[in-house]
């Protein structure tokens, strides 16, 4: 009885010591988010709650390599990190936007653990790469540069992505003399993105057309209507993961003539600012989800039987950092596996040439997200 009482007192003492420490990790904040929709406003509020409640914890890592990318990846996960919150007010606001006011509890210990996890994944996967190619026309005339590309490129570069756009992509097209075939050709853009080793590619079109001359505050102003339709894809699978568009976004420049390239550029610039913000958020959310779940790697092995393929699947599922193995599908003597793993195809290939793996397969080709092999012998 005496020992039991002593143990109980010890447990209570530990609880008293740990309890306040745990409580100090929880910060309650009240913030207001804004967005073009109610859901965007709610997500903006969650991000602001994370920024406000965990700002000190996050800034403590400011000297870490890839700080901005890790920080923005964590902010993109705000909905999963800030789970204890209550909406106290929401609705339409001035300027055609929505607002959402929340009271949220932010756990700084969760931020710390998430930071470590994201940093480890970046160490494994390397700097993320994105290819952007957007064709712009003013009065149906194809432009040499792209305002949309520049907007997105600047946002993503600041976030820590490696970005390939404009002249770099155009150089490949000119070399292959297939520029006319690229617009709308997702498979072609996917191939170009793979050449750059990119995980994501963004493509689309933007247009601006004359909409007459108006008198604005006593000044004749050439008006243009701008629109844009931009889509984002995963390079390894070609799966579309985001699509943004704007119609009839206006812009103008002083002038008596209806045709005004400056007004057309202003209309596209206005549309790019709006869509660019949305696409950047989509990129961060998809990138965040992607690295937390792991990338998809396709493994194709020629000349194996179904029995061999099933044995390989079982062995693949035991590889460290492999989350899931789908397949095999066996077509024309080629067994195909789709592997979700927190590593690159190159990392997995290095693993597959070691130990007793060469007895099961011989790797013959390696590309981004894809390993090709054959049965040895």
Containing domain of residue 239, as a range? Answer: 129-293
- Is residue 170 a part of any domain in this protein? yes
Say what the pTM is: 0.64
Whether residues 99 and 174 share a domain: the answer is: no
pLDDT, one tens digit per residue, over 137-166 is 888 888 887 888 888 888 888 888 888 887
Phi, psi of 149 (to 5 degrees): -55, -50
Whether residues 154 and 95 share a domain: the answer is: no
Q: Which residues pair with 237 in a beta bridge?
A: none
Alpha helices in the chain (DSSP H): 2-24, 38-59, 67-76, 78-81, 108-125, 147-159, 167-176, 179-182, 186-195, 261-293, 306-316, 345-352
- Averaging pLDDT over each range in 34-48, 212-226, 257-271, which range is the top one? 34-48
- Is residue 3 a part of any domain in this protein? no
Domain boundary among 125, 149, 172: 125
Whether residues 265 and 163 share a domain: the answer is: yes
The CATH number of the domain holding residue 279 is: 3.40.50
Domain boundary among 110, 125, 140: 125
Domain boundary among 102, 125, 148: 125
Q: What is the dihedral of CA 117, 122, 125, 127, to 10 degrees?
A: 160
Whether residues 285 and 161 share a domain: the answer is: yes
- Is residue 241 a part of any domain in this protein? yes
- Is residue 9 a part of any domain in this protein? no
Whether residues 111 and 135 share a domain: the answer is: no
What total number of domains does the chain contain?
Answer: 3
C-alpha span between 76 and 281 (Å, rounded): 7
Look at residue 266 and tell me whether its pLDDT is greater than 60.
yes
Phi, psi of 137 (to 5 degrees): -130, 140
> Got the DSSP string for 345-356?
HHHHHHHHTSTT
- Is residue 195 a part of any domain in this protein? yes
How is residue 211 written in tokens?
């909409």
- Look at residue 375 in the predicted model and tell me its pLDDT: 92
Cα dist. 298→190, 198, 318, 367 in Å?
Answer: 15, 16, 17, 10
Whether residues 134 and 270 share a domain: the answer is: yes
Whether residues 145 and 275 share a domain: the answer is: yes
- Is residue 208 a part of any domain in this protein? yes
């Amino acid at each position: 009885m005496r020992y039991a009482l002593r143990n109980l007192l010890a447990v209570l003492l530990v609880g008293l010591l740990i309890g306040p420490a745990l409580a100090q990790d929880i910060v309650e904040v009240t913030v207001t988010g804004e967005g073009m929709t109610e859901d965007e406003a709610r997500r903006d509020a969650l991000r602001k709650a994370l920024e406000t409640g965990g700002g000190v914890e996050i800034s403590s890592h400011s000297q870490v390599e890839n700080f901005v990318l890790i920080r923005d990846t964590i902010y993109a996960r705000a909905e999963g990190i800030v789970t204890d919150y209550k909406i106290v007010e929401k609705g339409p606001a001035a300027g055609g936007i929505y607002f959402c006011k929340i009271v949220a509890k932010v756990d700084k210990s969760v931020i710390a653990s998430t930071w470590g996890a994201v940093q480890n994944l970046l160490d494994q996967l390397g700097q993320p790469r994105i290819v952007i190619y957007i064709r712009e026309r003013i009065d149906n005339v194809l432009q040499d540069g792209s305002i949309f590309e520049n907007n997105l490129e600047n946002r993503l570069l600041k976030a820590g992505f490696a970005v390939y756009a404009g002249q770099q992509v155009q150089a490949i097209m000119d070399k292959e003399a297939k520029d006319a075939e690229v617009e709308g050709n997702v498979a072609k853009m996917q191939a170009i993105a793979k050449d750059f080793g990119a995980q994501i590619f963004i493509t689309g079109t933007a247009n601006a057309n004359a909409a007459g001359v108006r008198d604005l505050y006593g000044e004749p102003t050439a008006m243009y209507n701008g629109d844009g339709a931009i889509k984002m894809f995963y390079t390894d699978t070609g799966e579309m993961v985001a699509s943004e568009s704007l119609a009839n976004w206006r812009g103008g420049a002083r002038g008596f003539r209806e045709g005004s390239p400056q007004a057309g550029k202003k209309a596209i610039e206005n549309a790019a600012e709006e869509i660019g913000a949305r696409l950047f958020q989509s990129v961060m959310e998809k990138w965040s989800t992607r690295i937390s779940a792991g990338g998809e790697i396709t493994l194709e092995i020629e000349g194996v039987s179904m029995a061999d393929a099933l044995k390989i699947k079982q062995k693949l599922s035991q590889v460290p950092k492999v989350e899931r193995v789908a397949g095999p599908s066996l077509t024309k003597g080629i067994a195909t596996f789709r592997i979700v793993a927190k590593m690159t195809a190159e990392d997995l290939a290095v693993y597959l040439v070691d130990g007793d793996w060469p007895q099961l397969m011989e790797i013959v080709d390696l590309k981004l997200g894809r390993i090709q092999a054959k049965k040895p012998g």
